[in-house]
A and B are shown apart, each in its own frame.
Chain A
């Protein structure tokens, strides 16, 4: 679960890391009001979950109320696409923040290194830039150091890292403190990624986090009640509906609705549909031991996406029983007007019974296929090819 910049900064402040003061606003009038209270110059920053906001025009510095109004009006409601094609994300709120006098811009992050099974601290004196670019062009400018998971992370160790990264001599002590506090945010708030870019030294030689990128482990949200609000912020209507029904659903761009059981098989189903020339509309894992009610819920979510022109059910029953899936399909077709053809492939536990149930129900526009590949080809054909 990713936090918005301002949510991350609120978390930093809670852990004693200096951040500029600011206010969140979702209307132009509120943004101007915030700017008037904060004073000028101030930054109007789009709050979306991707990098590259500045380049996309989502961050502006206002010198007076007129500019604050002009920029807030331009930024609120704009669509921003991420550097790796993420999104587009519509800006529904801005963070209005007091201007900072920047003497130096650095980079600091704490991330979970899955391969090494350790937290990794990274610090660079070249902040404010795309860090992947820094790492590629001048790797020596990015100091990476793993944190020993069996011992506390001490200020002395942090000071060595920031000194090696070439930060200003008079900022080393404070920067080391910040790095230790960031590691504290990771372990105490269950953050798997914390990135501060830039981490600045102000004209008054104070070390301040000017931006934040924080990812909280979704499995640990239960023990962080204060982050529940951020967890609830799902923009997409289908994703919100699926979440409410307790389904694992990811919206995609295509027209072939997909339901499979198990995350791996579901990903594989998307791939095979794409290979057959189709475009998947979603990822939906019905989970292990899927019962009839879950199938009804899943179909409701899939057909609520108006782009869907055909649906593929790809089930390999292990714990999941195919006869339960078949009953769910029959029940669902009695409750929901599907309007689109349904291709069903049932294999594994109780598949013969499942196929018998489907055949007996004789549902209109239901097509059975024996293999995953045949089912994928059929659904693509029925969906009207690639969208």
Chain B
């Protein structure tokens, strides 16, 4: 097993005819992901390297059997594209686009909830299940199949940790980038729940950063509901208050959302928190060996 994407994934990419969309969509296909369709309104009937293009996601669902949608649409049109995906009949929507206005995401979030569609992102690198499927922009070469489930707000930080796990001779069931925006479709808790239920996952690595209280909420959830060991890393101890550190959601507001508060909340619930990405990977390997 693995979570969210796997051998059963049938992918439709919104924006497949664009530069980024075609680059990453075809990379995902080359990795082994079953890419069944692309969507660009007005370009239905065309194809990209043999992948059929449809005018709407719904057509891609009806005619090509798509069950997972990836959104690679520019920010100002992306929320509408996600809304379209939610209503199309796919069960999973993975939104890579960065820079979507947060109040657009507010209404989109509730549409996804109401429709029972799993939304990952936006502003995320996607989901990789090593050896099975890759949906998004995660460079697959740094990850081997294995027992560690990773959930992260950050892309490059995850690649760094994944690479260290690989060099230590282990690997991952899945890697889920939940995104660095203030409102994302799935939070740490949603993904922790999936890893807890996934028989292939033996240990979970959670990578958080400053801003919001998703890590604090996750700490409560881990104590109550997660039986598998969790190792965490938090970035942003040196971030000053009131400054947005790259990600739209990475901002300390007044005295809330600090890295220290998140570390304290996690440690209070027995979660080991690494000082650096390297130490975090080392702790994960150590805990895995002790299982």
Q: Assuming the A-B contacts A84-B241, A318-B159, A372-B160, are A187 and B212 also in contact, with contact meaning beta carbons closer than 8 angstroms in the complex?
A: no
Distance of A2 Cα from B210 Cα, bound (Å): 19
Q: Assuming the A-B contacts A114-B212, A149-B106, A261-B156, are A267 and B276 also in contact, with contact meaning beta carbons closer than 8 angstroms in the complex?
A: no
B contact residues around A218 at 8 Å (CB): 244, 248
Q: Assuming the A-B contacts A288-B137, A348-B142, are A272 and B246 also in contact, with contact meaning beta carbons closer than 8 angstroms in the complex?
A: no
**CB atoms of A266 and B245 under 8 A apart:** yes
Band of interface residues on A: 35 or more
**CB atoms of B241 and A283 under 8 A apart:** no
**CB atoms of A270 and B157 under 8 A apart:** no
**CB atoms of B238 and A280 under 8 A apart:** yes
Chain A 91-125: CB-based contact to B (< 8 A → 1; otherwise 0) = 00000000000000000000010110111000000
Q: Is A371 an interface residue (CB 8 A)?
A: yes
Chain A 149-186: CB-based contact to B (< 8 A → 1; otherwise 0) = 11000000000000000000000000000000000001
Q: Is B289 an interface residue (CB 8 A)?
A: no
Number of residues on chain B facing chain A (CB within 8 A): 65
Decide if the interface of chain A is mainly helix, strand, loop or mixed: mixed
Chain B 145-165: CB-based contact to A (< 8 A → 1; otherwise 0) = 000000011111111100100
Q: Is A382 an interface residue (CB 8 A)?
A: no
Q: Is A373 an interface residue (CB 8 A)?
A: yes
**CB atoms of A219 and B255 under 8 A apart:** no
**CB atoms of B157 and A220 under 8 A apart:** no
Distance of A250 Cα from B274 Cα, bound (Å): 25
Distance of A270 Cα from B277 Cα, bound (Å): 12
Q: Is B107 an interface residue (CB 8 A)?
A: yes
**CB atoms of B250 and A263 under 8 A apart:** yes
A contact residues around B157 at 8 Å (CB): 262, 264-265, 268
Q: Chain A nearest CB: distance from B129 CB in Å? A: 17
**CB atoms of A114 and B183 under 8 A apart:** yes
**CB atoms of A248 and B246 under 8 A apart:** yes
**CB atoms of A187 and B103 under 8 A apart:** yes
Report the nearest B residue to A349, measured CB to CB.
B139
Q: Which 9 A-B pairs rank lowest in CB-CB distance, beginning with the nearest? A: A264-B154, A263-B246, A262-B156, A264-B157, A220-B101, A265-B156, A267-B235, A318-B139, A114-B212
List 8 A–B pairs whose Cβ atoms lie within 8 Å, in order of A's numbering: A112-B183, A264-B180, A266-B245, A268-B160, A271-B259, A288-B137, A318-B125, A318-B139
- B-to-A contact residues, CB < 8 Å: 75-76, 99-104, 106-107, 109-110, 114, 125, 137-139, 141-142, 152-160, 163, 180, 182-183, 207, 209-214, 217, 233, 235-250, 253-255, 259, 275-278
Known: A115-B217, A267-B239, A267-B245. 20 other contacts (CB 8 A): A85-B240, A114-B213, A219-B101, A222-B76, A223-B76, A250-B243, A260-B156, A264-B180, A264-B207, A268-B160, A270-B238, A274-B238, A275-B276, A283-B246, A285-B246, A318-B137, A318-B156, A319-B137, A347-B160, A348-B163
- A-to-B contact residues, CB < 8 Å: 2, 49-50, 82, 84-86, 112, 114-115, 117-119, 132, 149-150, 186-187, 190, 192-193, 217-220, 222-223, 248, 250, 252, 260-268, 270-275, 280, 283, 285, 288, 316-320, 347-349, 371-373
